[in-house]
Structure 1
Amino acid sequence: MGERANLAINEAPSRGELSVLFSGQSITEPLHHVGPSVHDYGIVHYVQSGKGTFTIRGVTYEVGEGDSFFIFPGELHHYVADEREPWQYRWIGYRGTGADQLLASIGIGPHAPIVQNYRTHRVEAMFRNVYKALQLGGVAGDIEAEGYTRVAFAEYARSSAKGNTSQKADKRSDIERQVEQAARWLSLQFDKSISIDELAHTLGYHRTYLSKMFRKQMGESPMQFLLRVRMERAKTLLMTTRLTIEQVAASVGYEDALYFSKLYKKWYSCSPSTHRSEMQNAQSSGCLYF
């Protein structure tokens, strides 16, 4: 199950308190899912229509039209479109020294990641404006995108003051917390040589037991999870940078570029170079985009 997406990337992001990285819009198919994943940046989604579920810290939230959900740096998460009413949403990716503190000050964080039923044309307009600003590009586009994002956050502050944030208790067991810790570690250390044996030893579990519990909770083995993280990161690098295939391979943990290319082709049904060309030229040659 896939999605149709439009994406605008900030070519000149600032390094201040709040920096906008990208923005876009997706129309998803039934049961389209993203993750489980961990990012080193934050993302806020605004649901325009349809519904789905969002899971963070072991808690699953039902999210629908007019709701917003937040992804936080270093937090394992995943989200799934509804089978009958798949959602359509806009999103803004951001990072910065004060972004999380800014959100925390208005009551939004990993334990309260949802702003519910805030149907305001102003919020949706800010998401559209951020996208348009990034399409214009340059320093002016960067400044404009940051300004519109701050206005959107101000709207969320007003909503939070009315009690529209959603918070649930964390009911994870110790092993569930450890599995999420393992997933976070794999997601952040994917560019290095990784041993599942060493990871299991560090967490105090036998490899077989950790792998069993990891698969039960995440739906895939630790090595499958790591491969997916690497392939998704490689796709992002191919789309957003001018790195050579060899440099992309090294950036996601593969010293052998040929071996990396074989894995990439098996994953996406086309080679890295073909995929890059297709994404840049908006062409279609059978590559997969999940």
Structure 2
Amino acid sequence: MPAAAHARAENTGFAGQRVCVVPLPQVATALRRPATRQLTVVHAGYYRRAAGHTRERGKGTRDVIVILCIAGTGTVEVGGTSHPVGPLSYAVLPAFTPHTYRASADNPWTIWWVHLRGTGLGDLTRVLMRDGRPVTRVRSVGHAVALFDELLTLLERRLSPAHILASSGVAWQLLTRLAADGALPSEDSPLDRAIRYLEARVDGTVRVDDLAALVGLSTSHLTAQFRKATGGGPGAFHTGLKMARARTLLDTTTKTIGEIARAVGYTDALYFSRQFRRHHGISPSSYRAQAKG
């Protein structure tokens, strides 16, 4: 019997579709195992130009559903509110939440999708749904598509405990990749330009007012965007870049502490050492002396 016989399609009619469903007894077994109880794939698939694709679940489902749109458009409805879904975006539908989703009639979406269960999905779902929104745009979908393809290929090949375990690992990486990518600023947005400007000037000093003017935002607006995206203001972000560069130089060169301080924009080696200790809890010299690897 071919491996594909282990799978059954949720629906049919989409040219080139791929669907694999893990039998519920195997899902139940995986959810009892330590390595997969936090996240187990229930079923997953790929639909290309899915004209007429629609689902309406008045009571939701036990699964967390993640839909990645790579072309075309559609909508998801959660809590009575409709949210458009287009290319470079993903939708998250929490478990036990009434929802509807459908492809648009004039430009039906092409999507990868997965249904998941597990004890670790609550926190991860909240991270994926930034500000509680069910739909999030991402910068690119290449890595996520590769992970979806790997996940489906694993399940299509065989539904052994080892393959289910591997698919859980891939799914975890997929969700964290989407969460991380969704948190990044859009390419060439003011925040993206500000971040790239700071990254290019690790060896210098940049005033927040000047940076805000450069990217066309008020200082307060830019600071708010930085805090939302990075957890700190522009100054803290720039200092973090300097500390990362300092660690690299400490680990890979024989430069003196003073030389490293100047390489990351500090004219005063003692001030640099205080900053380094504040971030790492130890001095630059002690950090360099630590055994690593």
TM-score of the pair, normalised by structure 1: 0.52
SS at match of 1:86: coil
**160 and 6 in structure 1: CA distance in 2 versus 1, 3 angstrom threshold:** closer
**45 and 3 in structure 1: CA distance in 2 versus 1, 3 angstrom threshold:** farther
Which of 148, 153, 158 is the equivalent residue of 2:175? 153
Match of 2:45 in 1: 24
Cα displacement (A) at 1:27: 2.9
Supply the distance in 2 between the matched residues of 1:128 and 1:36 (Cα, whole angstroms): 27
Cα displacement (A) at 1:99: 0.6
**2:101 paired with 1:89:** no
Supply the distance in 2 between the matched residues of 1:99 and 1:109 (Cα, whole angstroms): 15
C-alpha deviations, 1:19-49, integer Å up to 9, x for none? 1111111235545321144111111111121
Match of 2:54 in 1: 33
Cα displacement (A) at 1:70: 1.0
Supply the distance in 1 between the matched residues of 2:163 and 2:86 (Cα, whole angstroms): 30
One-letter code aligned to 1:142: I
Which of 5, 8, 19 is the equivalent residue of 1:7? 19
Supply the distance in 1 between the matched residues of 2:131 and 2:183 (Cα, whole angstroms): 18
Match of 2:276 in 1: none
One-letter code aligned to 2:96: G
One-letter code aligned to 1:27: R
**2:99 paired with 1:77:** yes
One-letter code aligned to 1:146: S
Which of 46, 49, 53 is the equivalent residue of 2:71? 49
Supply the distance in 2 between the matched residues of 1:151 and 1:124 (Cα, whole angstroms): 12
1:193-208 to structure 2, matched below 5 A, reads none
One-letter code aligned to 1:20: V
The answer to whether the 8 Å contact 1:49/1:65 transfers is yes
**42 and 33 in structure 1: CA distance in 2 versus 1, 3 angstrom threshold:** same
Mark the structure with the bigger radius of gyration: 2
C-alpha deviations, 1:213-232, integer Å up to 9, x for none? xxxxxxxxxxxxxxxxxxxx
**2:134 paired with 1:122:** no
SS at match of 1:148: helix
Supply the distance in 2 between the matched residues of 1:29 and 1:152 (Cα, whole angstroms): 22
C-alpha deviations, 1:131-183, integer Å up to 9, x for none? 1111121011101111111111121221243267xxxxxxxxxxxxxxxxxxx
**64 and 19 in structure 1: CA distance in 2 versus 1, 3 angstrom threshold:** same
One-letter code aligned to 2:145: E
The answer to whether the 8 Å contact 1:115/1:159 transfers is no
Supply the distance in 1 between the matched residues of 2:131 and 2:155 (Cα, whole angstroms): 27
TM-score of the pair, normalised by structure 2: 0.51
Cα displacement (A) at 1:117: 3.6
Match of 1:134 in 2: 155
Instruction: Count residues with an aligned counterpart.
Output: 163
Identity score, percent:
19
One-letter code aligned to 2:40: S
Supply the distance in 2 between the matched residues of 1:112 and 1:23 (Cα, whole angstroms): 22
Supply the distance in 1 between the matched residues of 2:99 and 2:64 (Cα, whole angstroms): 11
One-letter code aligned to 1:34: R
Cα displacement (A) at 1:82: 1.4
Supply the distance in 1 between the matched residues of 2:131 and 2:77 (Cα, whole angstroms): 10
**109 and 100 in structure 1: CA distance in 2 versus 1, 3 angstrom threshold:** farther
1:101-112 to structure 2, matched below 5 A, reads 101-104=123-126, 106-108=127-129, 111-112=132-133
C-alpha deviations, 1:94-123, integer Å up to 9, x for none? 01112122222x252793211214423110
One-letter code aligned to 1:45: I
Match of 1:63 in 2: 85
C-alpha deviations, 1:231-257, integer Å up to 9, x for none? xxxxxxxxxxxxxxxxxxxxxxxxxxx
**Unaligned stretches of 5+ residues in structure 2:** 1-11, 32-36, 187-293
Aligned-residue Cα RMSD (Å) equals 2.3
One-letter code aligned to 1:40: R
The answer to whether the 8 Å contact 2:62/2:96 transfers is yes
**Unaligned stretches of 5+ residues in structure 1:** 165-290
